[in-house]
Structure 1
Amino acid sequence: MRWDVFAWAAFALLLFAAEALAPGAFMLWLGFAAAAVFLVVLLVPVQIPVLAQAAAFVLLGFASIQVYRKWFRGRERESDQPALNRRSAALVGRVVSLERAIVDGRGRVQIADAYWEVTGPELPEGAAVRIVGGDAMTLQVEQA
């Protein structure tokens, strides 16, 4: 067996293993490109220069990543809970009472066991407010 055939097979397997260890779909497509070069080098009876093999890998790698970006990347499933890891977005629409009055545009509410800073119009303590938006740990509210 020629060394270049063995090298492309090992390189393709190495890229597939790297994808298995750190999934992200990038190494997978480069592995497909290396496997394609392996098949070409294996099946073509004449010796292909190493520079031409490397150029073929680069071109096939670029093409395979473009295939992924165009046809597979946009087809990921939509989440049934898009605000799952964005707590402030998940609270939008809830009506709660102010724990601390809004003075100079800032106040505080308690939701379950967490205290949230709020911004909104001047309102007294205990007033009902509706959460209309959020940014990190600060919620935007309006009078309910």
Structure 2
Amino acid sequence: MRWEVYAWAGLSLLLIAAETLIPGAFLMWLGFAAGVMFLLVLAVPGMSLLTQAVLFTALSFVFVFIYRKWFRDRDRVSDQPALNRRTAQLVGRQVVLERGIVQGRGRVQIADAYWDVTGPDLETGTTVVITGAEGMTLQVRPVE
């Protein structure tokens, strides 16, 4: 076999193995491009080094495009969809107003954090339920 066949096979394996050390799903796609180059160089003897480099570059762009288009932007199903959205985790929780709602604005304490709330005017000490959030401000209504 020719040296370039071994080189493309080795580069393909090296890039795919490097993906396990540096996760990010990027090197793997370059490894796939090198794997296709291995097959092309094996099937087409006498391909110039410049042609190989241009094909590898083009294949790399194609594989990375495929990754970005069909794999990266897919919605992932999670058993905890609100994991990194703190306000979404609080929806439905009942809390007591630490400062009554006056002119639509008040405050509650949840654990060791104070949250601004909006809702109908209510007195301090009223139990409310969190119905939503807008930014870092919780929307509440009185418990029925």
TM-score range, shorter chain: 0.7 to 0.9
AA aligned opposite 1:6: Y
Q: Secondary structure at the match of 1:38?
A: helix
Q: Secondary structure at the match of 1:96?
A: strand
Aligned to 2:92: 93
1:115-126 pair list within 5 angstroms: 115-121=113-119, 122-126=121-125
Q: Which runs of 5+ in 2 are unaligned?
A: none
Aligned in 2, Cα 1:114/1:25: closer, same or farther, shift over 3 Å? same
AA aligned opposite 1:134: A
1:64-83 pair list within 5 angstroms: 64-73=63-72, 77-83=76-82
Runs of 4+ off more than 6 Å: none
Q: Is the 8 A contact 1:116 1:138 kept in 2?
A: no
Q: Secondary structure at the match of 1:125?
A: coil
> Alpha-carbon deviation of 1:100?
2.2
TM-score (norm 1): 0.77
Q: Is the 8 A contact 2:108 2:117 kept in 1?
A: no
Q: Is the 8 A contact 1:33 1:61 kept in 2?
A: yes
Does residue 7 of the first structure (1) align with residue 7 of the second (2)? yes
What is the percent sequence identity of the aligned residues? 57
TM-score (norm 2): 0.77
**What is the number of equivalent residue pairs in this alignment?**
142
User: What is the Cα-based RMSD across aligned positions, in Å?
Assistant: 2.6
AA aligned opposite 1:132: T
Q: Is the 8 A contact 1:108 1:115 kept in 2?
A: no
> Alpha-carbon deviation of 1:74?
5.6
